[in-house]
Structure 1
Amino acid sequence: MGSIGDLFGWIATPLYYAISGVMLVWHKLFTGVFQIPASNGWSWVLAIIGLTITIRALLIPLFVRQIKSSRNMQLIQPKVKELQKKYGHDRQKLAEETMKLYKDTGTNPFASCLPIILQMPIFLVLFRLINHAAHGEPKGFLSQLDADHIHDAAIFGVKISATFTGSADAGPKILAAVLVVSMCATTFLTQRQLMAKNMPSDAMTGQYAQQQKMLLYVLPIVFAVSGLAFPIAAMLYWTASNLWTMCQQFYVIRNNPAPGTPAFKAKEERDRAKAMKHGQPLPADAGAVDPDVSSGSSTEQRDRRPAQRQQPKKQTRSQRKSGPNPGSRPNPQKNRGKK
């Protein structure tokens, strides 16, 4: 157990300095520019939100990889099902062919977990940072004065270092309960948004769909149980991070949805309506739309197309010697020479 604690301490020490440093930069910004008192709870709450923005901005490249991997996992589900039907009797062969499919399509099934995995140490270190400061023990770049300010910092009359289980008063319990519900709701809505709008119908069944459904219901329960022991400041960080994820995912799904999903069809309809409004040519796939939706009927659209040029029929050598083809165009130069 001591070796595990030493390992965590070795990993956590640089994170203590990194997290506390970012928090102090944001705290100095709000106290110096906006003249919020250093001991005011809102200055530390805004510093935690600034910490969230900084960390999530740094994780954007990983989020892009997560989106691409998740999309690839959805699109290759029909092929995965075919492999399961073909090699269902041979687990080793099925695993080999599945990994080969992942490699050929550039899909990493673990990439979708990277942002959460990388955020967990940050969250745990922030939890311990706030917990130590609540007991007057500074960590990282925090001074003793900063630790005292965090210890006394309060919003709505509740200390941000308070927890649901560690408080006997009603105020901390109510605020902690509200934040626990917010954590669970944002986690649920983010996963629900992904499944309802950006998953093809083929991916809604099978093992991958079962995993997504499990995350949909299991993660909120995990946060609901564990959140009761988290300080209010740590739950503020996680709720703000969930809101960032939900908004970021909404933007990606709306503007770059996976093919064959409800979000993709909605984007096609928006693009089509926008093109019609501005009098622009319809997209290439507009021919698959109901003619009533377009600006003109299908007959009118066919009339606008240029007439196809009729190709002359092929003739044998005897036909060419016997005379001109009735369907061919006469040659005035040849007729003039005969006269």
Structure 2
Amino acid sequence: MDTIASLFAFITTPVSWVIVQFHKVYGAIFGPDTGWAWGLSIVSLVVLIRICLIPLFVKQIKATRNMAALQPKMKAIQERYKSDRQRQSEEMMKLYKETGTNPLSSCLPILAQSPFFFALYHVLSKIAEGEQIGELNQSLVNSARQAHIFGAPIAAKFMDSPEKVEALNASLTDVRIVTAVMIILMSASQFFTQRQLMTKNVDLSVKTPYMQQQKMLMYIFPVIFAVMGINFPVGVLIYWLTTNVWTMGQQMYVINQNPTPGSKAQDAYLQRLLKSITHHGEVRGRRRKNIVKLVVEKGSDRNEQERRFVTGLAKAGFAPQADGTVVKSDTITAEAEGGAVAKRQQPKRQTKAKRQSGGAAVSGSHKAEEGSAEPTSLEKKPQEPTGEAQPGRPSRANSGNTSRQAKSGQRKGQQRPKHPSSKK
């Protein structure tokens, strides 16, 4: 770790200068040699760094969502060009360029604050050794060495020897208890932050390997930080715990106010928005109007949560507009309620016997109509009825009865007489 920290030694001077400036403020309140003055200086350093990283955090959110949405296309490219690695890479880069996605954007906040983290570790290591560094002169180093937080010096580690801890005027038991509690809190906050992201702010309609990777990281990262934490000074544990709590709070705000489309968080947000519109009769706030505007613009491409939101508006008598506002209409309410209740009635399926009897009746009626029709000039005029049927030719009156009594499987209607030589 010392080698890694030395690589970021170029930034130790700015980090030490910021700590000294905050120490002057808190030292005037709590005393210059107290743990609160030095501990709050480290916390303030974290807050300052994270405020500066907010633009990168926004890019991280967008990049993470874009990467999740691109997972099906990326998987298709991998399957299509699995035997050609070069073509696969070219297609991937083309996909990133077309969608404006940068895979490294999701790691920007971590990469950006890594130099500050290792620089702080380097500064605290020098304080533990009693050596001045950056803007910390010898008197400030001695003051920081005597600063204790709940009985543990800010430069002490979990794995320090009893002699080294005694040189810092502390007890090894106190140091290990404080560091163990802070390591547990640091790992728990990391796990809760990742779990909150996976359970509430993930598009449930997209099942990709990316989600499985994030789920694995949810369990792996806390273990990694717990193992690494035993080699961190108390001041670095304060730094990392503070940044985890900041990330957790920042993510909670993003999930509640700008959730991922298709996630449970979006459903909860739209339901809150629906209650607000129903209660006030209008969309309040520019950001909420933008949300309604985006839902309207999607049209038929809305996801399940957005369709449920539009349906709820219709039942309440509101219609969303293209500018993000809503209008009241009683017709919309009636249509929504009628559409929810009225269903298409399917005709009952008839049995085979009923279908055959109905078909026979229809056939008989058609024959009767044909018998009553006037013959055309091209047809032969029928002979005058004599009361007897001509031999070999059934009468018109009996033809209807014959068709009605036709059995299943036989041709209905007027039958051609059988030849005398045919077998019965």
TM-score range, shorter chain: 0.7 to 0.9
Aligned to 1:112: 106
Aligned to 1:25: 21
Q: Which runs of 4+ in 1 moved over 6 A?
A: none
Bigger Rg, which one: 2
Q: Choose the corresponding residue for 2:10, options 5, 14, 17.
A: 14
In the TM superposition, residue 204 of structure 1 has moved relative to its aligned partner by 4.0
Q: Choose the corresponding residue for 2:256, options 254, 261, 264.
A: 254
Q: For residues 219 and 287 of structure 1, what CA distance do their matches in structure 2 show?
A: 37
Change (3 A) 1:280 1:125: same
Change (3 A) 1:65 1:38: same
Aligned to 1:36: 30
SS in 2 for 1:201: coil
Higher RCO, Cα 8 Å, sep 6+: 1
Q: For residues 174 and 108 of structure 1, what CA distance do their matches in structure 2 show?
A: 43
Aligned to 1:193: 196
In the TM superposition, residue 79 of structure 1 has moved relative to its aligned partner by 2.2
CA offset digits 1:222-263 (Å, max 9, x no partner): 111110011111000000001111111111122112211221
State the one-letter code of the partner of 2:15: I
Aligned to 2:129: 135
Map 1:217-228 → 2, pairs under 5 A: 217-228=219-230
Q: For residues 8 and 240 of structure 1, what CA distance do their matches in structure 2 show?
A: 20
Q: For residues 97 and 50 of structure 1, what CA distance do their matches in structure 2 show?
A: 45
Q: Percent identity?
A: 40
Q: 2:165 matched to 1:171?
A: no
Change (3 A) 1:287 1:113: closer
Q: For residues 291 and 204 of structure 1, what CA distance do their matches in structure 2 show?
A: 27
Change (3 A) 1:196 1:287: closer
Q: For residues 26 and 292 of structure 1, what CA distance do their matches in structure 2 show?
A: 52
State the one-letter code of the partner of 1:137: E
TM-score normalised per structure 1: 0.80
Q: For residues 19 and 250 of structure 1, what CA distance do their matches in structure 2 show?
A: 28
CA offset digits 1:137-185 (Å, max 9, x no partner): 0111001011001111002222121111115421111110011111111
Q: For residues 13 and 137 of structure 1, what CA distance do their matches in structure 2 show?
A: 14
State the one-letter code of the partner of 1:185: A
Change (3 A) 1:155 1:133: same
Change (3 A) 1:292 1:200: closer
Contact 1:153 / 1:160 at 8 angstroms: preserved in 2? Answer: yes
Contact 1:227 / 1:235 at 8 angstroms: preserved in 2? Answer: yes
- Which has the higher mean CA deviation after the structures are superposed, 261-270 or 170-179? 261-270
Aligned to 1:271: 273
Residue ranges of structure 1 left out of the alignment (5+ in a row): 306-339
Q: For residues 249 and 132 of structure 1, what CA distance do their matches in structure 2 show?
A: 34
Aligned to 2:64: 70
Contact 1:78 / 1:202 at 8 angstroms: preserved in 2? Answer: no
Contact 1:77 / 1:202 at 8 angstroms: preserved in 2? Answer: no
State the one-letter code of the partner of 2:234: I
SS in 2 for 1:229: coil
Q: For residues 156 and 239 of structure 1, what CA distance do their matches in structure 2 show?
A: 16
Aligned to 1:81: 75
Aligned to 2:215: 213
Change (3 A) 1:41 1:71: same
Q: For residues 188 and 102 of structure 1, what CA distance do their matches in structure 2 show?
A: 30
- Which has the higher mean CA deviation after the structures are superposed, 277-286 or 153-162? 277-286
Aligned to 1:50: 44
In the TM superposition, residue 116 of structure 1 has moved relative to its aligned partner by 1.1
Q: For residues 199 and 314 of structure 2, what CA distance do their matches in structure 1 show?
A: 25
In the TM superposition, residue 287 of structure 1 has moved relative to its aligned partner by 6.2
Q: Choose the corresponding residue for 1:91, options 65, 81, 85.
A: 85
In the TM superposition, residue 127 of structure 1 has moved relative to its aligned partner by 1.2
Contact 2:5 / 2:119 at 8 angstroms: preserved in 1? Answer: no
RMSD between aligned residues: 2.7
SS in 1 for 2:103: coil
Q: Choose the corresponding residue for 1:295, options 309, 312, 316.
A: 316
Change (3 A) 1:91 1:201: farther
Q: For residues 184 and 299 of structure 1, what CA distance do their matches in structure 2 show?
A: 54
Contact 1:176 / 1:232 at 8 angstroms: preserved in 2? Answer: yes
Q: How many aligned residue pairs are there?
A: 297
TM-score normalised per structure 2: 0.64
Aligned to 1:148: 142
- Which has the higher mean CA deviation after the structures are superposed, 283-292 or 208-217? 283-292
SS in 2 for 1:260: coil
State the one-letter code of the partner of 1:245: T
- Which has the higher mean CA deviation after the structures are superposed, 279-288 or 209-218? 279-288
In the TM superposition, residue 203 of structure 1 has moved relative to its aligned partner by 4.3
Q: For residues 54 and 67 of structure 1, what CA distance do their matches in structure 2 show?
A: 20
In the TM superposition, residue 201 of structure 1 has moved relative to its aligned partner by 2.4
